[in-house]
């Protein structure tokens, strides 16, 4: 280890030369298989394409038949097997699920998530999933969630949109949706509305800290462990950024849990009311007994953070990309409005979840958004033992396996020659019903035993919000010539804001 650390300054000092070489070789090999450089492996390709890393991965997987061995820095564990072959995904996520846990490497990279459901394996994961599933599918919770989502639209989103309509000002929809998703998810998970969605657009440290965590997590897949540990020890760079973000997250969650505990202890009668009328997830954990779980402060902290990141980002990212796409596809927008007109009258109103459940074209538009712009850009597994994938690739024990969900939606061999086109009709059968695709092909909600528990919740929230905006407002992109691309992150945020003008459709 000491010898390796001695080489680190030399490695860092050589970066200018590396960039010169990268630029020369990148011009000769822009879209083919990356060069496997001495010592550095294929890391220079990442550096050269960091601004478009998701598209570069797509190009590589397209020319390599959906599966590719990425070579990392020599003598480190930064190499991995990347695949978007549906047969491989089905093999790993379903038929041989037990052979492919998240693994210790995943837990090390995502250590900020603690021992929450997304980091756990074996019995810990099974117990957490069993309890979470019993809560999320409960009729009272679903009723609570749908009511909270609609209320946030009526009392949070619409007043802000009305203000921008009246004043003719420009608003950043990316920021707006992030705030809406943050407040809605926080309410669903903790029962508290932190009111980040208001006319003042205040900075919310908790939300900013989660953004920082996601950007650093992307880079942690590329950093050698010794380099990351050195940065932690020196408290510099991305390690310092991660530490500060984690401290903010821990502080906010601790305060929320303290207030929640104090309220429940002060008013015992509230427990009976919550049992009758539904409640947020954390309250359900706190007021019900779960023999298979140790409900302590750390468990609650990890659970809040895991569900907050999953809920907030899936919600906001999907809405942002949906409206960006609709702003460029007026014909598709008109078809959604025609479908909405069949269940309402032409005046401002919001929609109940039950009204939207059978709207096929709206559902197809959301599925297309999730296919082309999946909120979670990567899924990560580790091989517990040697195995051979259906593609013929051999996997050694402890091999890191990455799935690029972004690339999967753009594979011609999976979705056809028109895979780059946005076609809601792709999700509609000849008889006009919603078409279902297997999860190893449409991977946005994971697959197999780890299929997302909140899938139905996510669709309900997305439909409630998108229907209210589409029916009541016209959205016009201001910077129509700006190229909007995915940011280099584990979450598929836009690389910039999405500035629009909002106009009312009804007087």
DSSP string, 439-488: TTTS-TT--GGG--TTHHHHHHHHHHHHHHHHHHEEEEES-TTSPP-B-S
Structure tokens at 438: 């297997």
Nearest to 464, CA basis, from 353, 366, 365: 353
Beta carbons of 373 and 318 less than 8 angstroms apart: yes
Phi, psi of 83 (to 5 degrees): -145, 145
Q: Kind of pairing, strands 80-83 and 400-404?
A: parallel
Q: d(Cα 302, Cα 280) in Å, to the nearest integer?
A: 16
Direct distance between the N- and C-terminal alpha carbons of the chain, in angstroms, rounded to an integer: 70
Nearest to 284, CA basis, from 443, 474, 504, 134: 134
Place of tokens 């639209």: 153
**How many alpha carbons lie under 13 Å from residue 136 in its C-beta half-sphere?**
17
Q: How many residues does the chain have?
A: 507
* 384 CB-near residues (< 8 Å, 6+ apart): 98, 99, 100, 101, 103, 397
Q: d(Cα 505, Cα 507) in Å, to the nearest integer?
A: 7
Give the helix/strand (H/E) hosting 69: strand 67-70
Determine whether the annotation assigns residue 496 to a binding site: no
DSSP string, 382-430: E-SS-EE-TTS-EE-TT-EEEEEHHHHTT-HHHH-TTTTS--GGGGB-T
Cα 43 to Cα 7, 142, 152: the distances in Å are 17, 45, 44
Q: Enumerate the known binding-site residues for heme.
A: 452
Q: Enumerate the known binding-site residues.
A: 452
């Amino acid at each position: 280890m000491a010898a390796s650390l001695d080489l680190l300054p030399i490695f860092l000092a050589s970066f200018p030369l590396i960039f010169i070489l990268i630029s020369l070789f990148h011009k000769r090999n822009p879209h083919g298989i990356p060069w496997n450089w001495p010592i550095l492996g294929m890391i220079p390709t990442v550096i050269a394409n960091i601004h478009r890393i998701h598209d570069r991965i797509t190009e590589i997987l397209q020319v390599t038949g959906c599966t590719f061995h990425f070579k990392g820095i020599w003598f480190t564990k930064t190499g991995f097997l990347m695949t978007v072959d549906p047969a491989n995904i089905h093999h790993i996520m379903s038929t041989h699920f037990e052979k492919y846990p998240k693994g210790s490497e995943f837990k090390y990279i995502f250590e900020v998530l603690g021992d929450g459901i997304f980091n756990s394996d074996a019995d810990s994961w099974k117990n957490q999933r069993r309890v979470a599933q019993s809560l999320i599918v409960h009729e009272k919770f679903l009723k609570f969630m749908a009511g909270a989502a609609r209320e946030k639209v009526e009392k949070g989103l619409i007043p802000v949109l009305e203000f921008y309509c009246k004043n003719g000002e420009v608003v950043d929809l990316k920021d707006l949706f992030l705030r809406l998703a943050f407040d809605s998810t926080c309410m669903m998970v903790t029962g508290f509305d932190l009111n980040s969605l208001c006319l003042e657009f205040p900075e919310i440290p908790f939300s900013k800290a989660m953004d920082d965590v996601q950007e650093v997590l992307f880079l942690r897949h590329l950093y050698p462990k010794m380099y990351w540990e050195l940065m932690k020890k020196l408290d510099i760079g991305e390690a310092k950024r991660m530490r500060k973000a984690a401290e903010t997250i821990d502080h906010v969650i601790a305060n929320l849990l303290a207030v929640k505990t104090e309220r429940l202890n002060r008013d015992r009668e509230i427990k009976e009311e919550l049992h009758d009328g539904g409640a947020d997830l954390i309250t359900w954990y706190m007021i019900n007994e779960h023999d298979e779980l140790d409900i302590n402060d750390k468990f609650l902290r990890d659970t809040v953070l895991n569900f907050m990141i999953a809920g907030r980002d899936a919600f906001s990212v999907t809405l942002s990309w949906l409206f960006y796409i609709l702003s460029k596809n007026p014909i598709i927008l008109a078809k959604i409005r025609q479908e909405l007109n069949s269940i309402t009258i032409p005046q401002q109103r919001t929609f109940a979840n039950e009204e939207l459940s059978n709207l096929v074209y709206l559902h197809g538009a959301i599925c297309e958004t999730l296919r082309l712009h999946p909120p979670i850009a990567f899924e990560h597994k580790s091989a517990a033992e040697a195995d051979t994938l259906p593609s013929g690739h051999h996997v050694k024990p402890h091999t890191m396996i990455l799935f690029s969900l972004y690339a999967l939606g753009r594979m011609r061999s999976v979705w056809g020659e028109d895979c780059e086109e946005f076609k809601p009709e792709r999700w509609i059968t000849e008889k006009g019903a919603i078409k279902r695709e297997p999860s190893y092909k449409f991977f946005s909600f994971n697959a197999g035993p780890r299929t997302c528990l909140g899938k139905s919740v996510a669709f309900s929230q997305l439909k409630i919000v998108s229907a209210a905006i589409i029916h009541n407002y016209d959205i016009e992109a201001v910077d129509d010539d700006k190229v909007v691309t995915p940011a280099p992150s584990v979450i598929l945020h836009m690389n910039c804001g999405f500035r629009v003008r909002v106009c009312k459709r009804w007087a």
